[in-house]
Chains A and B, each alone.
Chain A
Amino acid sequence: MFIVGIVAAFLLIFLLDLKKLINANQRKTTLLAYLLLLTTGFSISLLQILADKPPSPAVYIEKMIDFLLGGGTP
């Protein structure tokens, strides 16, 4: 059910922007950048419906800061 909702939402976004995409000046680069963003958003959304959800970027950022500071965050 969730996956249908996600696919529908991203399809709607694509359809809303389709006219602008067709009329864009540098169509190849625009399409590349656009699809890159859309795929990123779609992937992040899909990750959240997995039964075993991966840790969020906040966890990785915190781990990286801990590593750089050589200990825990204050």
Chain B
Amino acid sequence: MFLLLLAFIYGSSAIINSAVGAYQDAWFAFIIGWFSSYLLIGVYVYLSLLHPQRTLIDILTECFGRFFGKIFATFYIFYFIHLAALVLRNFGEYMNTVNYPDTPLLFLLIALAVVTAFAVRNGLEAISRVNEILMPFAIFFVIALFFIFFHTYELKNLLPFLDKGFAHVLKISFGVLTFPFGETVVFLMIFPSLNKKENLLKTTSLSITASGLILLIITLRDLMALGPELINTIIFPPHSTTGLLPDFVIDPFIAANLLINGGLKIVICLYAASLGITQLFGLQDYKLFVLPITAIVISLSNWIYESLPEMLRWAAEVYPIYAIPFQFIIPITLLLISIIKKKRSTEKTTN
């Protein structure tokens, strides 16, 4: 679970950093977003602990009633499919721009999506086991790259501090909170499958700490190596950072990181969407819906943006607002309803 959550948060952040809009204060905006995420993910964990055997779909039906619960569940399923499509498109655009400029984007999308679909069909345990093997490599790459570029770092790239004002940093940090930390709302579909629920809070806290540290290392690396202006102008800062050492071919490490973590993020989203559909219709086997959902994800991923700049603009400007109901309003409302219901039932039993 620790590595699964870690890989999910790391995910496409291996290539896209939502904090870069804060320029030289990107590291500070990231830290604010990261620390706020403890509260937000705490809401998800507490909600799951109040309903240990229930997934998000069940909780929605229980708290909002059968009719409204199913409507909200449908919205969440769309959100999971949409999220998978967004991550898949990030992956496709990166590969298309950096590694395979002559290969059609659609082909790259299909190639990754098919692999992830068959991973989901093998079940959550198989996914977790593969992640246990691959994730340490990804962590090693990040730490190794941080030290390899050490001689290129310039501390002056972090100054002047709060040049654009605290309000601007706060706005960017909200973006960091929604992407990638808030996206862990997907795990409300996975938490019920865990064996040791008593360790849930501890494991998620450790995961947020580790993933936050990794992403902070990446933010500092790109910021100190490239400078605040450049990381805002270029499309994929990690790729450009690797260009600073022309004698070494380091770029495949970034691509490998993206494959491992971005792939896992798509897997989790596909799993959540398939399980969501299964529970929405009151069925048993989620595996049957994996391939049709993957087909939707591929089509949506190809359709959703006209171009790469549009994808980046949407991710920075629209996504943080679009995510508010899914990541904040509905989970917090569910938590409040669950607490009230629990209090009432405790009062009834004592009376």
Label chain B's interface by main secondary structure: helix
Contact status A56-B304, CB under 8 Å: yes
B277 to chain A, nearest CB (A): 6
Known interface pairs A48-B303, A73-B317; A37-B285 also in contact (CB < 8 Å):
no
Find the B residue at minimum CB distance from A42. B295
Q: Annotate A58-69 by CB proximity to B: 1 below 8 A, 0 otherwise.
A: 100110010001
Question: Any chain A CB within 8 A of the CB of B115?
Answer: no
Find the B residue at minimum CB distance from A25. B284
Q: Annotate A24-62 by CB proximity to B: 1 below 8 A, 0 otherwise.
A: 111001101110011011101101100001001110011
Q: How far is the CA of A24 from the CA of B314 in the complex (A)?
A: 40
Known interface pairs A30-B288, A33-B283, A37-B277; A48-B318 also in contact (CB < 8 Å):
no
Contact status B171-A74, CB under 8 Å: yes
Contact status A48-B299, CB under 8 Å: yes
Find the B residue at minimum CB distance from A46. B299
B334 to chain A, nearest CB (A): 21
A29, A32, A44, A53: most-surrounded residue (chain B CB, <10 A) = A44
Which residues in A have their C-beta under 8 angstroms from that of B303?
A: 44, 47-48, 53, 56-57
Question: Chain A contact residues (Cβ within 8 angstroms of B): what range?
Answer: 20 to 34
Contact status B282-A29, CB under 8 Å: yes
Question: Any chain B CB within 8 A of the CB of A7?
Answer: no
Q: Which of A9, A20, A30, A53 contacts B295 (CB 8 A)?
A: A9
Residues of chain B in range 272-316 having any CB-CB distance to chain A below 8 Å: 277, 280-285, 287-289, 291-293, 295-296, 299-300, 302-306, 314
Q: How far is the CA of A47 from the CA of B317 in the complex (A)?
A: 27
Which residues in B have their C-beta under 8 angstroms from that of A58?
A: 304-305, 314, 318
Contact status A61-B292, CB under 8 Å: no
A52 to chain B, nearest CB (A): 14
Find the A residue at minimum CB distance from B299. A44
Contact status A30-B318, CB under 8 Å: no
Find the A residue at minimum CB distance from B291. A13
Contact status A29-B281, CB under 8 Å: yes
Q: Which of A20, A33, A37 contacts B287 (CB 8 A)?
A: A20
Contact status B299-A57, CB under 8 Å: no
Which residues in B have their C-beta under 8 angstroms from that of A62?
A: 314, 318
A57 to chain B, nearest CB (A): 7
Find the B residue at minimum CB distance from A16. B291
Contact status A37-B299, CB under 8 Å: no
Find the B residue at minimum CB distance from A58. B304
Which residues in A have their C-beta under 8 angstroms from that of B282?
A: 26, 29
Q: How far is the CA of A33 from the CA of B300 in the complex (A)?
A: 19
Known interface pairs A47-B303, A73-B318, A74-B317; A29-B283 also in contact (CB < 8 Å):
yes
Residues of chain B in range 175-233 having any CB-CB distance to chain A below 8 Å: none
Contacts A/B (CB < 8 Å), 13 sampled = A13-B295, A26-B284, A29-B283, A30-B281, A33-B277, A33-B280, A37-B277, A37-B296, A40-B292, A57-B304, A58-B304, A58-B314, A62-B318
A-contacting residues of B (Cβ < 8 Å)?
Answer: 82, 171, 277, 280-285, 287-289, 291-293, 295-296, 299-300, 302-306, 314, 317-318, 321-322
Apart from A37-B277, A56-B306, A57-B303, list 10 A-B contacts with CB within 8 A: A20-B285, A20-B287, A30-B285, A37-B289, A41-B299, A42-B295, A56-B304, A58-B304, A58-B305, A62-B314
